[in-house]
Structure 1
Amino acid sequence: MSINEQTVAAILSQVALAADGAFLGVALAYVAVRSLIRFTDASSALKKIKDSPSVRISDLRSVLSPSDGSDSSTGSEEGKLVIVRGLVEAKSAVDGNWKSLRQNVLVSHESGDRGVIIRRTQTCIYNEWRGFFGWTSDVRSLFKRSWKEQESTSLRMVPFILVEGGKWPQNDYLVVNMDGSRHPLPLVTVFHQLQPITASPYTFLQALFGHEYPVGLLDEEKILPLGKDITAVGVCSLRDGIPVIKSCKDLPYFLSDMNKDQMVVDAAFRTKVLLWSGIVLGTLSIGILGYAAVRNWNRWKSWRQQRQAQQQNNLAREDPDPEIAADDTGEIPDGELCVICLTRRRRSAFVPCGHMVCCQRCALSVERDLAPKCPVCRQSIRSSVRIYDS
C-alpha cells in the first residue's frame, strides 16, 4: 500500500470510528435502507417479469388489443408488458419502398461486420511516477482522487426490428424503440487493440514533476450485429397496426441475451442479495449504534458525576465556620501561616505523619493528588484532620 493510500485509509478510519462508531453506524444504516428500497424495486420488477407473457412475434397482434396504442390527443402511450425473442434486422429491410433495395445498416471500419448499433470506445491509460517532486501528488491525493484513465465513447445507431428466424418475407416484425433507454445492450466485441504511446519531451516533464502521463491507447469496438438472437422486454403497443416495443424504466432489462427463465433466475438472485445485504447491514448498524449510545451515555454519566464531585469539593473548600473565617482574615503570625498558600492559618493535620502545616483548603488539594504526600516530610498520607482550637 502506498503512502497516499495509507493516509486516506487512516483518515477514513478515524472518521468512521468517531463518537465510538456512531458515524459508521449511521453510514451502515443509510446503506441498509437503500438496499431495502432497491429490494422493493427488484421484487416488483421480478413479479412483472414473471407475469409478463412470452410470445412470438407473429402472435403479437393477437395478444395486443386495438386499444393498446398511442393516444395522439393526449400524447400518452398505453401498452402491455411482454417478452419477445427474435433476430435483429434493419428496419429498412421491411420498409417496402425503393430505399429497401439498399439496406440501411452500419459497417464496422475495423472488422467489416454489419450491425445496427456500433459503439466505439477510446481509453487513454495513464501512469504516475512520483518523480523528484513527487510530494505534490501526495498532497493532491488528500483532496481529490487521481484519475488513471480517460475514456471517450461514440455511439451510432440505425432503426432496427426483431423478426422470427426462418421466415421470409418478413410480414410480422417488431419495431424496437430505443428512445429514453438507459439499459445495457447485448453488444458483441469485434475489435480490441492496445497501442503504446510514444513518449515526448513534455511526457518527461510530466513525469519529472510527478504528474500523470499517457502510456497507452485502448481502442474497442462493439456492435449489435444483424441476425443476433436477443430478447426484448418492455411495453408493447400498436402504432398504425405495427407492434412497437419500448423500454420500461422499472425493469432492469430491455434487450438481453437471456430468455425469460434466465431473467427470472437472475432477478431472483439480485433480489435475495439485496434483501440479505439490507438485513445484515441493518443488524450491524443497530448493534454499532446501540454500542455507541451506551458508551456515550456512560461517558456522560461519568462526566456528570465528576462535575458534581468537583462542585462538592469547591463547596468543601469554603470554611463554614464564621469564627475561623474571621480569624483567618486577621493578623496571623508567620509561624502559623499555611506553607502552601501563605495566606491562611494552619488548620489541618495529615494522617499518619501528623504534621499540621496547611490550611483546610490546601490540605484538601493535597489529598486529591494522584500520590498525596506531606509537603514537609514527603511521607504518603491517607487523609487530613481539621484541628479546632479549644
Structure 2
Amino acid sequence: MSSPERAIINLLLDLALSFDGAVLGLTLAISAVGSAIKCASTNAALNKINDAPEVSVADLRSLLPASEDKSETNDHGTSSDQRLVVVRGFVRPKISGDDNVLISSETGDKALIIQRTQTYVYSGWKRLFHSTGYRFMLERSMPKQGVDFMRKVPFVIVGNDQQSQSSYLFVNMDGSRQPLPLTTVYNRLQPINTSFLQAFLFPEYPVGLLDVEKILPPGKDITAVGICSFKNGVPEIKSCQDLPYFLSEMTKDQMIEELMDQTSFIFLGSVILGIVSVGILSYAAVRTWNRWKLRNQQRELTQRPSEPIVDDEPEDAEEIPDGELCVICVTRRRVPAFIPCGHVVCCRLCASTVERELNLKCPVCLQSIRGSMRVYYS
C-alpha cells in the first residue's frame, strides 16, 4: 500500500472516530435505516409475487374476461384492467420466420435479443509504481466502457403445449430495467499492442479489450412477471418497476425462495447495524456529557473568587507532634477536615491547594471530596 493510500485510510479513520465515534455511529445508523427501507421494499416485492396468480398463456383471457371488450372502447387502445401475473412459457418471434430473428455475427446463432459489451482492460502497473491514490481509486471503481448496445426484435411467450399462432402473450420491453435471462455465446479478450514503456508510463492506456456477446435464443423456457393487460385484443405484459424480476429463468417458487433469503439477510444486517450504531452513539453521548460536566466544574473553579487564606499562627515545627503534621508540607499542623471522608491530614494552605485542583480527591483515601472545614478541639 502506497503512502497516499495509507494517508487516505488514516484520514477516513480519524473522521469516523471523531467526536468519540459519533460520526461512525451516525453513518451506521444511516446504513441501518437504508437497510430497513431496502428490507421493506424486498418484502413488498415478495408479497406481490407470492400473491400474483401463476397462469398459462391460454388462461389469460379467463383471468381478465372483460378486458378485451373494454380495450376496444378505450381511446388509447389499452385496457384499464391490469393485473400482476406470473406466466411460464417459451419465447419465439412475434412473426414466425427466419427473417424475423437476429443472427449473431460471431457464432451465427439465432436470437431474439443480442447484447454486445466491450470493456477496456487497463494494466496494473499503476498500483505498484504510481502514488496518485485519489485517481487510482476513482478509475478502478469506474471502469471505462468501450461499446455497450442491445438489439432486439418483438417476441412473444407461448405455452408449453401451445402450438397455435393466434394465442400468445406479447412481451413489451419498454422501460424494463430488470436483468434479462441471456446466454453468453461469445467471450474473448483481445490484447492491444502496447509497449512496456506505454504500460509503465501511461497506466490510462488500455492493454486489452474484453468482448462479450449474450443472446436470448428462440425456444428458451422463461418466466415473465409483470403487469398484464389487453391491447387491441392481444394480451400484453409489461415490467413492474417495484419488482426485481421481469424475465427470468427461475420459476415462481425459486423467486419466492430467493426473495425470502434476501429479506432475512437484509433484516439481520439492519438489526446488527442498528444495535452497533445505538451502542456507539450512547457511548459518544456519555463521553460528551462527562466532558461537559468536567468543563463546567473547571469553569466554576476559575470563576470562583480567590479568598485570602489566613495562615495559622506560626508554630515551631519541633513542638508539633509527628502525628499532627501536614502530610503534604510536613511543616504546619493539621487543621481542616475533608468533606465527606472526614480525614484531617492537611494544613489550611495545603487543603486550599487540593481544593483548587480539577479532580478533587483526598490525598489519603483518594475519595472525591467537595471541600473542607476547620475542626476545633475543645
TM-score, length basis structure 2: 0.76
Q: Residue 217 of structure 1 corresponds to which residue in structure 2?
A: 209
> How far 1:289 moved relative to its partner?
0.7
Amino acid of the structure 2 residue aligned with 1:43:
N
Distance 1:170 1:76 in 2: 23
Q: Aligned AA for 1:92? A: I
Aligned counterparts of 1:255 and 1:108: Cα–Cα separation in 2: 21
| Structure 2 residue 131 is matched with structure 1 residue 162 | no
Contact 2:85 2:228 in 1 (8 A): yes
The answer to whether the aligner puts 1:299 opposite 2:277 as a matched pair is no
Matched residue, 1:86: 89
Distance of aligned partners of 1:198 and 1:310 in 2 relative to their CA distance in 1, 3 Å threshold: same
> Aligned partners of 1:279 and 1:117: how far apart in 2?
42
The question of whether the paired residues in 2 share the 8 Å contact of 1:175 and 1:245 is answered with yes
For the structure 1 residues 206 and 77, does the alpha-carbon distance in structure 2 shift closer, same or farther, using more than 3 Å as the test? farther
Q: For the structure 1 residues 212 and 227, does the alpha-carbon distance in structure 2 shift closer, same or farther, using more than 3 Å as the test? A: same
> Are residues 41 and 353 of structure 1, via their aligned partners in 2, closer, same or farther at CA, if it must alter by over 3 Å?
same
User: Residue 205 and residue 197 in structure 1: after superposition, are their counterparts in 2 closer, same or farther (change >3 A)?
Assistant: closer
User: Is the Cα contact below 8 Å between 1:128 and 1:213 reproduced in 2?
Assistant: no
Is residue 116 of structure 1 aligned with residue 119 of structure 2? no
1:150 counterpart (126, 144, 147): 144
**Does residue 236 of structure 1 match 2:228?**
yes
| 2: CA distance, partners of 1:319 / 1:48 | 81
Deviation at residue 92 of structure 1 after TM alignment: 1.7
User: What residue ranges of structure 2 are gaps of 5+ in the alignment?
Assistant: 311-327, 333-348, 359-378
Shift of the 145–167 alpha-carbon distance from structure 1 to 2, 3 Å rule, reads closer
Q: Which residue of 1 aligns with 2:67?
A: 67
Deviation at 1:80, TM superposition (A): 1.1
How far apart are residue 54 of structure 1 and its match? 0.8
What SS does the corresponding residue of 2:90 show, helix, strand or coil?
A: strand
Take 2:114 and 2:144, find their aligned partners in 1: how far apart are those partners?
Answer: 20
1:199-249 CA-partner distances (Å, limit 9, x unpaired): 15xx735632x6433121110000111110000001111112110001111
Match of 1:204 in 2: 197
The aligned residue for residue 322 of structure 2 is: none
Listed as ranges, the matches of 1:336-355 within 5 Å are: 351-352=329-330
Secondary structure, in 3 states, of the residue corresponding to 2:208?
Answer: strand
For the residues of structure 2 that align with 1:108 and 1:245, how far apart are their CA atoms?
Answer: 27
Q: Is 1:250 aligned to 2:242, yes or no?
A: yes
What is the TM-score normalised by the length of structure 1?
0.74
State the alpha-carbon separation in 1 of the partners of residues 79 and 296 from structure 2: 65
Q: What residue in structure 2 maps to residue 186 of structure 1? A: 181
Q: Structure 1, residues 29-60: CA drift from partner, whole Å, max 9, x if none?
A: 11111111122212221111111111111111
Q: Structure 1 residues 212, 145: closer, same or farther in 2, change over 3 A?
A: closer
Whole-angstrom CA distance in 2 between matches of 1:132 and 1:223: 38
In structure 2, the CA distance between the partners of 1:226 and 1:217, relative to structure 1 (3 Å rule), is: same
Identity of aligned residues (%): 46
The letter for the 2-side match of 1:51 is D
What RMSD in Å do the two structures reach over aligned CA positions?
3.1
1:151-180: CA deviation from partner (whole Å, max 9, x where unpaired)? 231111111101123543422110000111
User: What CA deviation, in whole Å up to 9, does each residue of 1:254-308 have, x standing for no partner?
Assistant: 1000111111111111111121111111111111111111111111111111222
Is the CA contact (8 Å cut-off) linking 2:64 and 2:81 kept in structure 1? no
C-alpha distance in structure 1 between counterparts of 2:234 and 2:128, whole Å: 68
Aligned: 1:30 with 2:25:
no
Give the deviation of 1:191 after TM superposition: 0.2
Letter in 1 for 2:91: V
Q: Partners in 1 of 2:127 and 2:221 — Cα distance? A: 52
Helix, strand or coil at the partner of 1:222: strand
Q: 1:20 to 1:75 in 2, by over 3 A?
A: farther
For 2:181 and 2:11, locate their aligned partners in 1 and report how far apart those are by CA, in whole Å.
41
**Could you tell me whether the CA contact under 8 Å between 1:187 and 1:222 is conserved in 2?**
yes
Distance in 2 separating the partners of 1:194 and 1:30: 41
